[in-house]
Structure 1
Amino acid sequence: MRALLVVNPAATTTSARTRDVLIHALASDLKLEVAATEYRGHARDLGRRAADSDDIELVVALGGDGTVNEVVNGLLHNGPSHDLPKLAVVPGGSTNVFARGLGLPNDAVEATGAVLDALRTGSERSIGLGLVSGTPGTTDEAVPARWFTFCAGLGFDAGVVGRVEGHRAEGKRSTHSLYVRQVVRQFLGDPHRRRGAITLERPGKDAVGGLVVAIVSNTSPWTYLGNRPVYASPLASFDTALDLLALSKLSPSSVTRYASQLLSSSGRGPRGKHVVSLHDAPEFTLRSREPLPFQVDGDHLGLRSNATFTGVRRALRVIV
């Protein structure tokens, strides 16, 4: 099988020596071409080249969730098709939500072994993905639609992601404590936490306004704090459409309660009178009366004033 390995050399949890070992292991079973990413969006360009090729049957993404998201968007640049190369993932980032959602080990070496075993036995699955389109917060011009593998968010959580990314750009590592500190700072500085600016719209349903945060999930857990899973929408699955968790109020007491529910091993997720949730929703739109932070698969994409989400079933074949 001819395969393209897309390697992020800046992946936070793999060294150059480890990557060399993984490349050697994959090359023993595959006709392997290796490409290292050199700029933001390079993995997307490589995925697109693979999708347009006549002979690449598999793309392996070695990196974090951002690398995987770019590869997926490249592969699906013309939409889903059974003729597209399959995707395999070797986790190399700090959280690796998508790989762990597929049931892969969080260790890159063990995950490589699991991928090779799956290739030898022909084990794969078709998974659903999310697609989001809309307009940025500064103009009315639409931006290109973006695929996401496990989550997207508008409002509070995207603001936290943006803060974390800012600190990482300054050379700080993405740690549990860094994330928690940014949650606190976002809470203290969020002008909408008592009266939300987001409105949820669904075909044939009444609009729901006054939302502070909206988290769209394509799998569960939504993310991790270290090795601890965070359950926003416990029923979310790669086999269904999209789930939504939205909150209409964030007070000090409610934040403490929601945090406990998000981290609870019961996996029930947040609940209460200020909680709005959807399960297996094929399409909905989030609108804001002013531009708010927006994130996709943990990648901060600036400000958005509206975003329409579509759940696309069986969008991509994945080796697991």
Structure 2
Amino acid sequence: MRALLVVNPKATTTSSRTKDVLAHALASDLKLEVAATGYRGHARDLARDAAASGTVDLVVALGGDGTVNEVVNGLLTEGPSEHLPRLAVVPGGSTNVFARALGLPNDPVEATGALLDALAAGSERTIGLGRAATEGLPERWFTFTAGFGFDAGVVGRVEQSRRSGRRSTHTLYVDQAVRHFFGERRHRRTGPITLRIPGVEPVDGLVLSIVANTSPWTFLGTRPVYASPGAGFDTDLDLFGLTRMTAAGILRTIPQLLDASAVGPRGKHVVAYHDLAEFTLHSQETLPFQVDGDHLGERNEVSFSGVRRALRVIV
């Protein structure tokens, strides 16, 4: 079996030791090529070339959720196919939502052992993914979440902080979420987003809109956060939205987001849908947009679709 190991050396918890251990372990059973990313989008380019070659059986992503997202988008450049290389993931970022949602250990060395065991056993599953489309730009696949509005604004602030030298930590995300909350007073009470689902009356006034391909939505340290507990890799997309964000309302919602036994956040300002095949989020003004924690700038409209059985993953 021929494999490509894509390494993001700048990922939060990726070290040269982790890369060497993984490369050595994989090279004992596979014909392995190792490639380190050098620029944004490089992992996508490497995975695209691997898929186009027709000679690579497995692409292993060592990095965070952003690296995984790039690899997935590279593999799916021409769309899903039974002939695409399989995907394997070794977590190397700060949160690693996708890897943890697959049930992999969050420690890269332990995850390497789990990957080797899965390869030896021939263990894999075919998962569904989300796809986001905006006019005039390429479609973007996502593995666990996308956001339009408030949460994407938080992601943008975090990326800006990281460019100024701050390390990606859960504390940084919480800090920027609080700052963004108090800086977005106008949109907290009158949301500009309209949700349009085919055959359903539009829902206006969303402040927050989180699209989920699986659950949990994210992690706060070791605590999973459940925006859409029913979301999964075997269904289409879920949506969680809020039509108003007040301090009191957020304090009521946070315990619901952290409750694994609950059916998800509830309340008069909550908008929740499960297993949507397609829908559109529209805003009269441009709003921030993100997929898998990667800020993609601002948009007026984004169309989403769930694509079942899109990619084979080693687990």
TM range (shorter): over 0.9
Question: Quick one: which amino acid aligns to residue 161 of structure 2?
Answer: H
User: Which 10-residue stretch deviates more, 198-207 or 14-23?
Assistant: 14-23
- In structure 1, the residue corresponding to 2:9 is in which secondary structure? coil
Q: How does 1:135-150 map to 2 (within 5 A)?
A: 135=135, 142-150=136-144
Partner of 2:163: 169
Partner of 1:156: 150
Aligned partners of 1:21 and 1:115: how far apart in 2? 13
Per-residue deviation at 1:14? 2.2
Question: Quick one: which amino acid aligns to residue 153 of structure 1?
Answer: G
**2:266 equivalent to 1:271:** yes
Q: How does 1:1-320 map to 2 (within 5 A)?
A: 1-135=1-135, 142-190=136-184, 191-320=186-315
User: Which 10-residue stretch deviates more, 45-54 or 13-22?
Assistant: 13-22
Q: How big is each residue's C-alpha offset from its partner over 1:208-263, in whole Å with a ceiling of 9 and x where there is no partner?
A: 00000100000000001111101000000000000000100001100111122112
Question: Quick one: which amino acid aligns to residue 152 of structure 1?
Answer: A
Per-residue deviation at 1:16? 1.1
Identity of paired residues, percent?
71
- State TM-score, norm by structure 1: 0.97
Aligned partners of 1:126 and 1:271: how far apart in 2? 32
Is the 1:241–1:313 Cα contact (8 Å) retained in structure 2? yes
For the aligned residues, what is the CA RMSD? 0.9
**Count of residue correspondences:** 314
Per-residue deviation at 1:28? 1.0
Per-residue deviation at 1:267? 4.0
Question: Quick one: which amino acid aligns to residue 291 of structure 1?
Answer: T
Q: How big is each residue's C-alpha offset from its partner over 1:57-105, in whole Å with a ceiling of 9 and x where there is no partner?
A: 0000000000000000000000000000000000000000000011000
Is the 1:231–1:268 Cα contact (8 Å) retained in structure 2? no
Question: Quick one: which amino acid aligns to residue 77 of structure 2?
Answer: H
Aligned partners of 1:12 and 1:186: how far apart in 2? 23
Please list every run of 5 or more consecutive structure 2 residues that lacks an aligned counterpart in the other structure.
none
Per-residue deviation at 1:18? 2.2
Aligned partners of 1:170 and 1:269: how far apart in 2? 36
Aligned partners of 2:54 and 2:187: how far apart in 1? 50
Q: How big is each residue's C-alpha offset from its partner over 1:150-196, in whole Å with a ceiling of 9 and x where there is no partner?
A: 00000110111111111111111122221111111111111211000
